[in-house]
Structure 1
Amino acid sequence: MIEQFQKHFDEKYKQPTAIQKAVAPALKTDQSVLGIAPTGSGKTLAFTLPLLPKIMPGEGTQLLVLAPSQELAIQTTKVIREWATLIGVSVQSLTGGANLRRQVMNLHQHPDVVVGTPGRVLHMLDNHHLKLGHLMTMVIDEADDMLQDDTLAVVEDIERATPLSTQLAFFSATKSPVLDELSVMFGRDIETIDVRDEDTSQGPVEHGYLSARTNAQKTATLRRLTSIKDFRALVFFNSTRTLNYAASRLRHEHVPVDTLGGRQKQVQREKAMRMFRKRQIKLLLTTDLAARGIDIPKLPAVINFDLPTSLNTYIHRVGRTGRQGEPGLALSLGDDHDIRDLKKLLADSDYELTKLYIGDNKLTNQKPEEGQQVVSIKKQASRHLQKEQLSGETHKKMNQTLSGFSKPKKRRKKKNRKNKGIRLKHRRKNNEN
């Protein structure tokens, strides 16, 4: 590690993680690598620290980083820019949903590092706004997700636009079959570095479940969880329809929540992430969009509103909590049938599910006694207010306050004099008769 980085690193971290130590020698010597490490183990710094010193400022784009989502691309840009400014290297992000014209203008300044999503990067290449003639390294983050379906074709198109001597670096938290074919797919000798068994950066994470059958019951469970002190969670859904249903129900009950969806504008998504990081909202509802690489410091819990359909999805979801040695909680909601299927899904892993209950404004593994009624903090507060009202203290305070105001003057009612002359005329005639 160069001197400028070493001083800054010692101020922020105690020591490099296993993946950071393992991949550094290969990346420094231009060797293409596949790095596999658990979530939250510092994979972004693992490629940032060795690759940035190789860049010659002002010589064009020399490092390209691809990320699967806008949130992860923006997060990676911030991390790389923090270290790049120490050595005078410029960084530019290219993400969908952002201002296209502004991005084109920034590319005309020839940034040294470009971080982006595959679709926007390919668009810039096709329109000749992004030039990769001086590219030295291309990093594919969350490779197991990026090298699937339509995204694989986009990544291959981008790779074809790079020089033949370009170094490739793939990083992932899980290993899928496609990662075994990298050498054949990209025509390079790629060294695999797997430190999942050696890494100790993951904090203690408790895996549990709460019984809830319908979406209405699950939403009610989320509301009860928000009554627990300092509780915050990232809530995962399999469909946006269910997500919108839960969000509308929770907002109707004045629960501080926000959503993170693929159809939202980048400004809205950034605002939701910023409010959640600042703890202004308790629940952030999202699809698997946020399950990849998003780093939220000291996130207490992750909730599976809809259960994941694969082990890799579960690993990436729960990887948002318990990062960098911090404790975490992974909760799943479902009935007996759902939980039985989830246990089968996790049979080949080290995860053990525990049944949990909400009682006394906290989560516990002890079942409440029969007849014991669990009351939330909000209900306790309302009952306390009702007792005060019944005792008469509240009425006394109100009367004292109101007695200080002057009473409004009574207005005299005006008599209706309309058609008075006609009525008098009729009366006279009746009297004469």
Structure 2
Amino acid sequence: MLEHLKGDPVFMQNVTGWHIQPAQAARTLPFPHRVAPELRAAYEKRGIRQLYTHQRQAFDALDAGKNVVVVTPTASGKTLCYNLPVLNAIARDENARALYLFPTKALSSDQVSAVTEIVDELGKDIKAFTYDGDTSVSARAAVRQAAHIVVTNPDMLHSGIMPHHTKWVKLFENLRY
């Protein structure tokens, strides 16, 4: 397909440069010793025995209380950049809480699934729930009380959480991430 496009003069009139990046070996680092042993074992059971360098750097920075922005291509391991420190904090302190913001319902759903999968391997009672416009009134109270990780969107943060912040005391008093 690439050769076909390269040979198409109509397509190529819009191309200013063509570069093929050669494959390179992954750069990895070991899990930090600060990761709870049961969390590390859960990731290892899923085949993750080392971290990519950007994942380790993100963990180290977040663990040190710094802010982090991760900008990498799709399927490069961004989810682990934030799930590892969040799950590690909750594994070490069951009162720790996290608030995840995503712009779309599909992305929120994918992230709750990713957390749930690793939590199932971990064997701890860590709860992650979506809180959006489709969350029933009866479920909203349960999310406020039980969720370690609340996954929502900016609209719900501003219209459903912040105006009712007194109902979210457990989340806000224990918010780590």
TM-score where L is the length of structure 1:
0.29
> Residue type matched to 2:168 in 1?
L
Distance 1:89 1:99, change over 3 A: closer
Conserved 8 A contact 1:107-1:130: no
Which residue of 1 is the match for residue 87 of structure 2? 52
Q: Does 1:130 align with 2:171?
A: no
Which residue of 2 is the match for residue 395 of structure 1? none
Instruction: Measure how far apart 1:40 and its partner are.
Output: 0.9
Q: Does 1:7 align with 2:41?
A: yes
Conserved 8 A contact 1:84-1:91: no
> Residue type matched to 1:122 in 2?
H
| Larger RCO (CA within 8 A; separation ≥ 6) | 2
Largest Rg, 1 or 2: 1
Structure ranking higher in helix proportion: 2
Conserved 8 A contact 2:102-2:151: yes
Instruction: Please point out which of 36, 40, 44 is paired with 2:71.
Output: 36
Conserved 8 A contact 1:124-1:130: no
Which runs of at least 4 in structure 1 moved beyond 6 Å after TM superposition?
Answer: none
Alignment of 1:18-167 (within 5 A): 18-55=53-90, 56-57=93-94, 59=95, 62-85=97-120, 86=122, 87-96=124-133, 98-125=134-161, 126-128=163-165, 129-131=167-169, 132-137=172-177
Task: Figure out how many residues of one structure are paired with residues of the other and give that number.
Answer: 134
Conserved 8 A contact 1:62-1:112: yes
Instruction: Measure how far apart 1:108 and its partner are.
Output: 4.2
Cα distance in 2 for residues equivalent to 1:108 and 1:95: 12
TM-score where L is the length of structure 2:
0.66
Instruction: Output one character per residue of 1:55-111: Cα deviation in whole Å (capped at 9) or x when no partner.
Output: 222x3x621110010010111111122333523222221123x13313323234242
Return 5+ residue gaps in structure 2 as ranges: 1-34
Which residue of 2 is the match for residue 199 of structure 1? none
Alignment of 1:246-265 (within 5 A): none
Distance 1:103 1:120, change over 3 A: farther
> Residue type matched to 2:108 in 1?
A
Cα distance in 2 for residues equivalent to 1:34 and 1:99: 29
Instruction: Measure how far apart 1:12 and its partner are.
Output: 2.2
Cα distance in 1 for residues equivalent to 2:79 and 2:153: 15
